[in-house]
Structure 1
Amino acid sequence: MAHAINAGALAGLKVLDLSRVLAGPWAGQLLADLGADVVKVERPGNGDDTRAWGPPWLPDGDGNPTGEAAYYLSANRNKRSVAIDIATPEGQALVRRLAERADVVLENFKVGGLAQYGLDYASLAAANPRLIYCSITGFGQDGPYAQRAGYDFLIQGMGGLMSLTGRPDGEPGGGPMKVGVALTDVMTGLYASNAVLAALAHRERTGEGQHIDLALLDVQVAVLANQASNYLVGGQAPRRMGNAHPNIVPYQEFATADGYMIVAVGNDGQFRKLCEVLGRPEWGSDERYATNPQRVRHRAELVAGIHAVTVTRATADWVARMEGAGVPCGPINTLDKVFDDPQVQARGMRIEMPHPLAGTVPLVANPIRMSATPVTYHRAPPMLGEHTDEVLADWLENR
């Protein structure tokens, strides 16, 4: 069949993706990259909200915009799109029939939003008890905020990330800052796909499906990682430190003669190597700096001393010297330099896929490398309703 997908790790798995924007679609794209047949259900006429989130738009061969937004393209590779109006009884019945054949449903409607259509977990699981139903919301299925809408930016603020990101208060440019990518959405998508795989393993043993309740706020709190632990153990709320690290010194950006670079010293041996490269070998045995706890204690004077040296040479010069000495370092790249980087190119992190309107579409590769069931790219992000007839024949007729 022309639309047959690769024999990936999840080959044969049927996923009905009722989600839109980023967190849910990101989970669906990961499952699709791993070989699942992911069917994206979209509103006729408009489709996923992110289809309209441009510019930039994917250009056709003549450079004219196709109407396919770059944002949408980032999260919907390897899926098939069907256009179904779930506000109509006919559309609801059709989605219920698809759900009877599905292994997994992904959805990010507001709490209780799908019950009015008979598309909630209880309704669909009654007809398909093996179904794994993953709900993604801002605040979860219960709790005092359950009915609130949740967006990544809002959650980055409420969940503490913005209290840790940005220049310290009192410095020029100080104040809360969001991360430059909708990271809470992306991380929620990763947690969702992980949870789905765990639920599949459980179903393999028991034959039973289950409901997965994922909240953006929960995920944001969870991924505070060492910073959350610092607070829980130390009892003091961490504050914004710019690019500095709360527990390691030196681990931040330093100005050079022509820009900035990152120095990321993770142990005392690396620090002594750094001192040699900087021409300050005596710092390696100085009792103020010889161990990391001492360097954290004397952070301000050490960082000032390093900065006084790093501004004397260009970034590329320092990076070459430090790499040669085994000191972790690197430039701060803009995205043009990221995709020109020889390591990024060697790892194939930019791919091109055939696209019916544009000829080809550039996309970012999946970073997972598997020896037996590698990720493959078999379908560009679909146009709205592109596969409606094909999917209905596949899932409902060809049984």
Structure 2
Amino acid sequence: MNEILKGVRVLELANVLAGPSVGQFLAESGAQVIKIENPATRGDVTRSWKLNKEEGETDVSAYFSAVNSGKLSVALDVQNPDHYAALIDLVKVSDIVIASYKMGDAEKLRVDAATFRSHNPSLIYGKISGYGDQNSKVGYDAILQAETGFMFMNGEPGGKSVKMPVALIDILAAHQLKEAILLAYIHRLKTGKGAEVSVSLFDAAISSLANQATNYLLAGHNPKKMGSEHPNIAPYGSIFTCQDGAKIVIAVGTDKQFEALTKVLGLSNFMSEKFSNNSTRVKNREQLNALLQNAFAKEEASVLLTRLDAVHVPSGKLQSVQEVFASGKADHLLIESGLKTVGLRNFIAKMDKYEIPSHIAPPPSLNQHANYLFTKILGYSEEEKKKLE
């Protein structure tokens, strides 16, 4: 079991993807993560985000399972005085809070950093917002993809703008909050002092534009739709169809790799002035891709991939999600409960002397751990627990 954060207690007052993924990361790292859910809304909204294929009355949907393994669940209505008092008792014995509220809501409900830290000064309060502390607009991943340039760039040349099929802005913001919380925790270990840290989806998206942002800021190039092609490198992200219909993606980053690619494909005199270096290949991208496609069309994918791997040319077969998991290569990232897969790991790093846990608890049902929390952690009497039913 990974015990690097053993003894750390986390309260998660967050829904959907960004905040809860931070909670699962901390749970996988050994922390005790208590998910506080609103009974009036039947808990985290993603409990009800079900596919047509999902049957039965369970409140643990496939979507909910993406970021809620390893947690304890308790249903508390913070507008109920008895429930709120129980929440404050949990705050007093916790180390970290993860929160995601619209501007002003946390203060109105008295679940803001100042209120919580008045009860526990060493508390680390981490929050995610849509657009920052001074903007009340609600942040949703699809809207952020549209507003921050991602959707404008994503698609085939001349085609419609499309969002990415994963809520990537939520995931990027979650990584930013993980980093901020861990830095705050290191600071607390040194000084004993808590902190309030915050991340917005908007800032996380902009900071992740990477080279596409600097292409504009430094070179005046407004990024446009290029399909899977790369604006700065060629052939990189290019997709080629083989003789057997399988598709291969090439990601050539150096002239040496390009030369190795041409030798494998049997393309003589291909290191001409038009293609001798990356700059010329970018300028002559269309002609380059046409010539490469003719060569790929003569090859069987599996054989060609073996030959490309042998000379260290970055390449891979275009695969569906079903094919990815059928291959067995991702088995070490599965979270298992009994004989059933219940989700994927959020924490994937390998650390010397710390093992990634082979098993963590499956995603909880709503209020599954109320009795345990009130009895074992808070030491409530039967009469006190009855008030919370």
The TM-score with structure 1 as length reference comes to 0.90
Contact 1:137 1:214 in 2 (8 A): yes
CA–CA distance in structure 2, aligned partners of residues 375 and 140 of structure 1: 34
CA–CA distance in structure 2, aligned partners of residues 206 and 229 of structure 1: 38
Instruction: Tell me whether 1:113 sits opposite 2:105 in the alignment.
Output: yes
Structure 1 position 7, deviation (Å): 5.5
CA–CA distance in structure 2, aligned partners of residues 353 and 68 of structure 1: 14
CA–CA distance in structure 2, aligned partners of residues 392 and 193 of structure 1: 28
Deviates more, 1:11-20 or 1:88-97: 88-97
What's the secondary structure of 1:281's corresponding residue? coil
CA–CA distance in structure 2, aligned partners of residues 290 and 152 of structure 1: 41
Contact 2:131 2:137 in 1 (8 A): yes
Instruction: Tell me whether 1:35 sits opposite 2:21 in the alignment.
Output: no
| Cross-structure match for 1:3 | none
CA–CA distance in structure 1, aligned partners of residues 317 and 64 of structure 2: 30
| Cross-structure match for 2:264 | 277
Instruction: Tell me whether 1:82 sits opposite 2:74 in the alignment.
Output: yes
1:296 aligned to which of 276, 282, 294: 282
Contact 1:231 1:238 in 2 (8 A): yes
| Cross-structure match for 2:131 | 139
The TM-score with structure 2 as length reference comes to 0.92
2:171 aligned to which of 174, 180, 186: 186
Instruction: Tell me whether 1:373 sits opposite 2:354 in the alignment.
Output: yes
2:153 aligned to which of 147, 164, 170: 164
Amino acid at match of 2:104: G
Contact 1:138 1:150 in 2 (8 A): yes
CA 1:132/1:235 → structure 2, altered by over 3 Å: closer, same or farther?
Answer: same
Instruction: Tell me whether 1:19 sits opposite 2:14 in the alignment.
Output: yes
| Cross-structure match for 2:188 | 203
Unaligned runs of 5+ in 2: 381-389
What is the RMSD computed on CA atoms of the aligned residues? 1.8
Contact 1:92 1:119 in 2 (8 A): no
CA–CA distance in structure 2, aligned partners of residues 208 and 129 of structure 1: 7
Instruction: Tell me whether 1:363 sits opposite 2:321 in the alignment.
Output: no
CA–CA distance in structure 1, aligned partners of residues 161 and 330 of structure 2: 31
Structure 1 position 195, deviation (Å): 0.9
Contact 1:164 1:240 in 2 (8 A): yes
| Cross-structure match for 1:52 | 48
Structure 1 position 133, deviation (Å): 0.7
Contact 2:2 2:355 in 1 (8 A): no
Contact 2:10 2:32 in 1 (8 A): yes
CA 1:138/1:319 → structure 2, altered by over 3 Å: closer, same or farther?
Answer: same
| Cross-structure match for 2:335 | 351
Residues 297-336 of structure 1 aligned to structure 2 (within 5 Å): 297-336=283-322
What's the secondary structure of 2:60's corresponding residue? strand
Contact 1:56 1:70 in 2 (8 A): no
1:152 aligned to which of 123, 141, 159: 141
CA–CA distance in structure 2, aligned partners of residues 289 and 66 of structure 1: 58
Amino acid at match of 2:186: A
Identity, % of aligned pairs?
33
> 1:50-81: per-residue Cα shift (whole Å, max 9, x none)?
0000026767xxxx563421000111011100
> 1:193-225: per-residue Cα shift (whole Å, max 9, x none)?
111100001111122111111100110111111
What's the secondary structure of 2:36's corresponding residue? strand
> 1:279-302: per-residue Cα shift (whole Å, max 9, x none)?
113112x11111111111211111
Deviates more, 1:242-251 or 1:286-295: 286-295
Residues 258-277 of structure 1 aligned to structure 2 (within 5 Å): 258-277=245-264
CA–CA distance in structure 2, aligned partners of residues 265 and 73 of structure 1: 37
What's the secondary structure of 1:25's corresponding residue? helix
Deviates more, 1:381-390 or 1:318-327: 318-327
CA–CA distance in structure 1, aligned partners of residues 172 and 311 of structure 2: 35
> 1:232-283: per-residue Cα shift (whole Å, max 9, x none)?
1112211111000111101121122303110111101010010011111311
Structure 1 position 342, deviation (Å): 4.4
Structure 1 position 87, deviation (Å): 2.1
| Cross-structure match for 2:235 | 250
| Cross-structure match for 2:383 | none
> 1:136-169: per-residue Cα shift (whole Å, max 9, x none)?
1111102xxx101110000011111112211112
| Cross-structure match for 1:103 | 95
Contact 2:153 2:224 in 1 (8 A): yes
Contact 2:2 2:356 in 1 (8 A): no
Contact 2:60 2:363 in 1 (8 A): no
CA 1:271/1:159 → structure 2, altered by over 3 Å: closer, same or farther?
Answer: same
CA 1:393/1:373 → structure 2, altered by over 3 Å: closer, same or farther?
Answer: farther
